[in-house]
Amino acid sequence: MAQTSHQKVPSVYLYIPNVIGYIRIIMNFVAFSVCYSRKWIFVILYFLSFFLDGLDGWFARKFNQVSTFGAVLDMVTDRVSTACLLTILSQLYRPGLVFLSLLALDIASHWLQMYSSFLSGKTSHKDVKDKSNWLLKAYYGHRPFMAFCCVGSEVLYIILYFIADKESESLLEVCLIALKQNSLLSFLFSLTLLGWGIKQVINIIQMKSAADACVLYDMKRSK
């Protein structure tokens, strides 16, 4: 029997990757509600939420449930959770302006990239085939490389949160101590620091590239 228009189609709101997004929001809400009293609970919930971030894209492709709403939900959830963690770190370390600057760079870079992608008629902000910068192409074109940078950045923030003993610790001193330790922590800290550094360079490149795309759009529109 032929399929009819009466066949039920799942609402975009109920797509599996979007449901995963709702679960991530709940987990982050619980995590940040206990971040000052239960460090282990926060770390576990935050990392699980970050792990689920890698699964929603797989489910979207597996079940053909890619959506604009899902892409926006995913990015907003990522940016808000990272912003909240950076805000907490700005209170635990000095100078706190370092983390607030990283927060501003993260939001500006991704917001400009998303907006410029829509202006260009792209379906995803990860479509950078027309960009000239090789590092930006490598980041979005090779998932293992992107995963290394993203995981490294987030895990570094989690480590800094977890090893903070008191408020207003010197960020430089804590980092030097962590790097000098002959332990698994020192190796992990060094590895995540590398991924974090590459990601910040990419954020700057992405912000400049997206700003150029917006300017080009204005120039074309004015002709």
Catalytic residues, by residue number, are 78
CA count, 13 A, side-chain hemisphere, 75 = 18
Local structure of 58: helix, strand or coil: helix
Q: How far apart are CA 202 and CA 133, in angstroms?
A: 10
What is the C-alpha to C-alpha distance for residues 195 and 85, in angstroms, rounded to an integer? Answer: 18
- Total residue length of the chain: 223
Helix axes 143-163, 184-222, angle to 10 degrees: 120
User: What single string gives the DSSP state of each residue in 99-144?
Assistant: HHHHHHHHHHHHHHHHHHHHHTT-S-TT--TT---HHHHHHHH-HH
The CA-to-CA distance between both ends of the chain, in Å, stands at 54
Maximum distance among all Cα pairs of the chain, rounded to whole angstroms: 71
DSSP letters for 22-53: HHHHHHHHHHHHSTTT-HHHHHHHHHHHHHHH
